[in-house]
Structure 1
Amino acid sequence: MAGQAGIHFDFRVSAGMHRCPAKIKMDPSFRWDDEQAMMPALPENQAQGVIEIVGPDVEALLEFYLSIGFELERRDGDFAVVHWEGTRLFLAGNPDAPVTDCWRSLRIMVDNVDAKWDEANRLQLEISNPIADKPYGLRDFVLKDPAGFGLRFAQAISA
């Protein structure tokens, strides 16, 4: 898949539940920090299932991901590592990387998807799929990053 839309996958992965203590206790790849936030526990060079997103402008990618709540772990030239509640993304800049729609997304579970929807609209981010209740039991929407990769923010629908 390396040639498609500048996105490289080590393998398919979806984000874990937002602040789920049961998952943390069972999964050694996550840890709680002093502020009770989920952080990646494995060092970057040992982490598995990390998606690398390559676009022509690493600054635009970094600005996008930081604006929606990802935290910067490290930055080195045209490469950055960001994380959301323990899920890492590698962001890389390459002026030859294509920017195209790619029909792939990373699902991120949140406590309040409507608040995330309002934030995305306030920030005037590009939306590929508007918010809606889906037949698979989630309320979700999809944002498109500057490289064309999708982020699906979701919340379980209460029964």
Structure 2
Amino acid sequence: MSALAYPQAITTGSKARIDLQLLRWMTGNWQANSAKQNIDEHWSLQGDSLLGISRTLEGNNSKAFELLLIEAQGEDLIVRLHFFGPAIDKATRGKDEPLRLKVIQADAQQLICEGIGNEVGTTLSYTKLSAERMQAQIRKVRDGNIVWQEDYAFQRASQP
């Protein structure tokens, strides 16, 4: 299977900084439920920082936690991720340092990030489908072929 191309980055060839305020549509509580697992995510935007917290449950048991932070690093917006196991005792990925992806597109409809460093070939995207629905996708590409991909259909969750 060949890799699907993403739209050109809106900042290609310029030093214009992407405005994180354009991602306000992501803020709040979201849920993705399937027969195998339930995921809840919370996104919070304050100032020039977007924070995401995710928990995956299988049945009533916590399976994984994820901490995502999007902030400026030099001229770029960088996503830093840490994945934790059920007890949050230690990171299962991004142990010594977080996984890093560069934001290449951020607007009122989509967030697209590409892996840098050890994560080259990894793409993370969130797409607004409506005010109440968004799609998330993480994909790994090697030699032009998709070797792994997961898609998540999120619904906006009511406030607790």
TM-score class, shorter: under 0.3
TM-score (norm 2): 0.27
Higher relative CO (Cα under 8 Å, sequence separation at least 6) belongs to: 1
Give the TM-score normalised by structure 1: 0.27
More helix per residue: 1
